[in-house]
């Protein structure tokens, strides 16, 4: 049997796969022997990524799981991830789970490229990753590709969640906030989740209007609810 067959039939990338929801998602996908996913753990921290991989393997040996480092707060890391993924020659890419995310830190923190880190990680990093991966997905009308964006209901003020409301004035103010107040800081996470939803809608629309990608993708936005174990 060839090494390609040993590595599974199709590939799924899960960002933030070393803990919480991302870890459980990767674990369940790896356990699905019927679909034979090759699961790529896209993690920022190498040691925690290796620990997650070993936990999923649970003492077994398998070529159906890989760890590739990805720091969504650094766009160069995103580009490097895509290059490493492409050079790995894994089974056809069929799914992306854009899960990784952070809650706004108490003080203004910037990404490597100088963007506010909550919006940078939760939206901009995934935006670039998704767009760079699109040409690498398998084109097969028999089996549609899947992109799942993990968002949250905290963006919706109607639900009266005890968090500041999502606030969108302009992208310039989001990536480079002009001032710091508790409300401004608190609104960054809900706003980043709103951006996830808007991105999902726009991505789906553009894919359907594209002669290259039409009817090739299922794009969904997922609200996992309150998960206190997620870090």
- Catalytic site residue 189? yes
3-class state of residue 137 by DSSP: strand
Residues β-bridged to residue 15: 42
- Which phi and psi (to 5°) does residue 16 adopt? 65, 40
- Dist CA 81 CA 76 (whole Å): 9
129 in Cβ contact with 99 (< 8 Å):
no
- Dist CA 20 CA 104 (whole Å): 18
Angle between helices 20-31 and 46-57 (to 10 degrees): 40
Burial 30-51 (b: 16+ CB within 10 A, else e): beeeeeebbbbbbbbeeebbee
3-class state of residue 175 by DSSP: helix
40 in Cβ contact with 29 (< 8 Å):
no
Task: Please identify which of the residues 115, 168, 179, 189 carries the catalytic annotation.
Answer: 189
CA angle, 90 as apex, 122 and 206 as ends, to 5°?
A: 45
- Which residues form the catalytic set? 189
């Amino acid at each position: 049997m060839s090494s390609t067959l040993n590595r599974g039939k199709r590939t799924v990338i899960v960002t933030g796969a070393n803990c919480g929801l991302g870890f459980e998602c990767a674990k369940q996908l790896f356990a699905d022997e019927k679909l034979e996913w090759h699961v790529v753990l896209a993690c920022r921290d190498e040691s925690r990524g290796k620990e997650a991989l070993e936990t999923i393997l649970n003492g077994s040996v398998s070529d159906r799981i890989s760890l590739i480092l990805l720091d969504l707060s650094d766009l160069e890391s995103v580009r490097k991830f895509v290059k490493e993924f492409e050079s790995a020659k894994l089974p056809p890419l069929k799914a992306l789970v854009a899960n990784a995310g952070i809650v706004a830190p108490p003080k203004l923190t910037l990404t490597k490229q100088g963007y506010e880190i909550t919006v940078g990680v939760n939206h901009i990093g995934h935006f670039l990753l998704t767009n760079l991966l699109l040409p690498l997905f398998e084109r097969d009308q028999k089996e549609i590709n899947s992109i799942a964006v993990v968002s949250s209901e905290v963006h919706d003020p109607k639900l009266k969640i005890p968090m500041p409301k999502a606030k969108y004035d302009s992208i310039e103010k989001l990536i480079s906030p002009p001032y710091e107040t508790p409300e401004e800081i608190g609104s960054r996470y809900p706003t980043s989740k709103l951006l996830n939803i808007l991105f999902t809608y726009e991505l789906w629309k553009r894919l359907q209007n594209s002669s290259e990608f039409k009817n090739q993708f299922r794009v969904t936005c997922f609200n996992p609810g309150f998960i206190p174990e997620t870090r």
